[in-house]
């Protein structure tokens, strides 16, 4: 049964902030920066853009739980669709049922996010679940268009590489780390959680290291998830 939610536009403004920061920084990095591998700023910009890419997907994830724009289902879906597309052309209507299947059947054979194995086989299994050939084709097309207008190094380092690194960030902190290993029967969500450290929890994956708490209260948006941590 769907849970009725009051309208709350804080999530909309936060989603807009992430989207604008990602777009403005990307334009700046593509048009202004001269790549200098001896400068620590180059690596700082890569990490920052990676974090913003992760923020796009986390926003789409909030939309999957109806909390990007609670009480506004059409706006919520629009936010989810847009932020998912900007993250390597993910298709929100395809992600939505798979993510809810993960919540219903967490760490079982019916869980599309779960793989009984070590990091790399699990990561590859995770990618196969969520990456399609048409996404790869669109990414290749976009890459070839971008490199016509911007320096190749900038396109690779600030558009392509952060998207790849963000998949590692999302997978490691949001899937592999919390769900790997055996979980006792009294753990209904088959998930662990990070130690309480709000700064690290935000920097690592927008508080989704508090993963047991997310499964326990999936109606809490990412920016309030830290409040559930005891």
Rounded CA-CA distance 175/219 in Å is 18
Residue extents of the structural domains in the chain:
10-190
pLDDT level of residue 182 (50, 70, 90 thresholds): confident
Angle at the Cα of 123 from the Cα atoms of 117 and 124, rounded to 5 degrees: 100
Q: How high is the pLDDT of residue 184?
A: 86
Q: How high is the pLDDT of residue 186?
A: 87
pTM for the predicted model, two decimal places: 0.92
DSSP codes of every residue in 65-110: TT-SSTT-HHHHHHHHHHHHHHTTT--HHHHHHHHHHHHHTTTSTT
* Phi, psi angles (nearest 5°) of residue 73: -60, -40
More confident residue, 27 or 185: 27
Per-residue pLDDT reduced to its tens digit, 73-113? 999 999 999 999 999 999 999 999 999 999 999 988 899 99
Per-residue tokens: 42: 């180059």
């Amino acid at each position: 049964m769907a849970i009725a939610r009051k309208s709350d536009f804080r999530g909309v403004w936060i989603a807009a902030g992430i989207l604008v920061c990602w777009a403005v920084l990307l334009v700046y990095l593509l048009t202004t920066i001269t790549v200098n591998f001896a400068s620590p700023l180059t690596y700082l910009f890569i990490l920052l853009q990676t974090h913003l890419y992760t923020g796009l997907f986390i926003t789409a994830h909030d939309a999957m739980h109806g909390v990007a724009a609670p009480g506004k289902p059409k706006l919520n879906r629009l936010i989810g669709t847009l932020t998912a597309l900007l993250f390597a052309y993910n298709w929100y209507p395809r992600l939505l049922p798979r993510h809810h299947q993960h919540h219903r059947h967490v760490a079982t054979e019916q869980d599309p996010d779960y793989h009984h194995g070590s990091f790399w086989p699990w990561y590859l299994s995770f990618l196969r679940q969520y990456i399609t050939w048409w996404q790869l084709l669109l990414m290749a097309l976009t890459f070839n268009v971008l490199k016509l207008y911007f320096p190749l190094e900038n396109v690779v380092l600030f558009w392509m590489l952060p998207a790849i690194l963000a998949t590692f960030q999302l997978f490691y902190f949001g899937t592999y780390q919390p769900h790997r290993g055996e979980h006792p029967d009294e753990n209904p969500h088959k998930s662990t959680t990070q130690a309480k450290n709000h700064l690290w929890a935000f920097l690592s994956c927008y508080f989704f290291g508090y993963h047991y708490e997310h499964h326990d209260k999936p109606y809490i948006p990412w920016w309030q998830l830290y409040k559930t941590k005891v």
